[in-house]
Structure 1
Amino acid sequence: MKNPEKAPAKKRALSAEELAECAALNAIYKAKKKSLGISQEKIAMEGLKANSQSAASHYLTGRNALNIEAAAVFARYLQVPVSDFSERLAREIKGISRSSESNVEGAQQPGAYYRYPVISWVSAGSWAEAVEPYPAGVSDRYEYSEYNSKGPAFWLEVKGDSMTSPVGTSIAQGSLILVDTEVEATPGKLVVAKLPDSNEATFKKLVSDGGRLYLKPLNPGYPTEVFDENCRIVGVVVQATQKFHY
């Protein structure tokens, strides 16, 4: 005797709180999508790693209840804290952060996220002379950070190994560095500068010795350069992230 086919399980109805969360999220999305240049498809494909736009739509329209993972993705793309649309999930995330051990010092609840363009080293060098740092079409790639910049900021992908050090601070080739153009450049900080004999920017540590400023690579195999009146500081590096490729 054949077993009767099981009827598909009936989908759970969302609670009033869950529906309110989705509605709040949808309102934020509608208010910010144009200025941020985002779409449901982008959030679904890139953030939620789904196969279609409907994955994002189902959360926004209240078809699916929000969970921690989805909430974090939407918060990142909309550049808002999770608590702006779900106090419930914000509390859960905070509880997980407190109870779980992490090898990343200072791990915090996902808060507001900010979007910055990834530009070329030539564009960064040109910025030093530009009146408008971000002309139309400056970049078709953007990355997110929890860092709220003081001024115009952008990402650069590190080239070469001049900032790779065998000890202490080391920034490997392929890392992304976030450059804030309004942070004060003082000795000891990592900076992006424009040298007079190059059309590209350069990434070095600003140091002082004997009353003079120098641009020093972290890799001892590269030479230190004098920072004179013809050099310009483009910005200070405030964050570095390493992307792993397998």
Structure 2
Amino acid sequence: MEYKDRVKAARKHARLTQVELAKAVGIDQASISDLERGRSGRSSYNASIAKACGVSALWLEKGTGDMIDSSPSEPSNVATIEQPSFRYPVISWVAAGAWAEAVEPFPPGFSDRYEVSDYDSKGVAFWLEVKGDSMTSPVGTSITEGMMILVDTEADATSGKLVVAKLADSNEATFKKLVEDGGRRFLKPLNPAYPVEMCAEGCRIVGVVVRAMMKL
């Protein structure tokens, strides 16, 4: 049984629709559909899917053991520690560029898509889907096109951090590495094929990238 088949079997076991499972996990229905059709590989929400369906996470991930975990349950006096999760909206690059100018960054109905993370943001935070290959590096840290990045607008933007900024002559935000040299700020792509840009007058740091993940 392939991973896609185990996801569907787990959902059927729990008697959940794709919409109900997606809501329980904190992702959209299309992501569940892609997993069950094999359009997406292993999900970073594997443990959450297993928990929502009442099946073994190890079985769901690797097909190892029984679908239903038959190991003895924990004594009632042992507390279960759950990983905290926080929901953040997925917005466009244009919206990210205009964020600092908005009186109310995220009015009701601003985004109909949310993704979750274990990161507890210091300020307003949002997800962006990476466009282009300017941050794809042949060595070290590499953020490829299609990945999701979580941006915290109140995190400290220090030299060496990956940031989302808005240049004075652009309506959209840009994603680069912040570098300070001689009292000046530069926006450096991780892909050496792209030029370094100066973060001069009119350039604003929208926020710091605190998480990156593959899109489901």
What secondary structure sits across from 2:102 in the alignment? Answer: coil
- In structure 1, distance between residues paired with 2:162 and 2:141: 10
State the match for 2:179 in structure 1: 207
Matched, 1:148 2:120: yes
- In structure 1, distance between residues paired with 2:135 and 2:146: 11
Q: Structure 2 unaligned runs (5+)?
A: 1-16, 34-48, 55-72
State the match for 2:165 in structure 1: 193
CA contact (8 A) 1:193 1:203 kept: yes
Counterpart selection for 1:118 from 73, 76, 90: 90
Matched, 1:44 2:16: no
Counterpart selection for 1:69 from 43, 46, 51: 51
Q: If each structure's helix is expressed as a fraction of its own residues, which one has the higher value? A: 1
Q: Please identify the structure whose Cα radius of gyration is greater.
A: 1
CA contact (8 A) 1:115 1:142 kept: yes
Letter paired with 1:44: L
- In structure 2, distance between residues paired with 1:116 and 1:87: 33
Counterpart selection for 2:193 from 197, 221, 225: 221
Letter paired with 1:117: P
Query: What TM-score, normalized to structure 1?
Result: 0.59
Q: 1:161 to 1:150 in 2, by over 3 A?
A: same
Shift of 1:47: 4.3
- In structure 2, distance between residues paired with 1:135 and 1:88: 45
- In structure 2, distance between residues paired with 1:151 and 1:115: 13
Shift of 1:211: 2.3
Letter paired with 1:243: K
1:103-126 deviations in whole A, cap 9, x for unaligned?
xxxxxx641110000000000001
State the match for 2:12 in structure 1: none
Q: Structure 1 unaligned runs (5+)?
A: 1-39, 52-66, 73-85, 95-108
Matches within 5 A, 1:65-144: 69-70=51-52, 110-144=82-116
Letter paired with 1:115: R
Cα RMSD for the two superposed structures: 3.2
Identity of aligned residues (%): 64
- In structure 2, distance between residues paired with 1:87 and 1:147: 28
Shift of 1:44: 2.8
CA contact (8 A) 2:21 2:52 kept: no
Query: What TM-score, normalized to structure 2?
Result: 0.66
Q: 1:223 to 1:88 in 2, by over 3 A?
A: farther
- In structure 1, distance between residues paired with 2:110 and 2:136: 28
Q: 1:201 to 1:88 in 2, by over 3 A?
A: farther
CA contact (8 A) 1:128 1:194 kept: no
CA contact (8 A) 2:168 2:201 kept: no
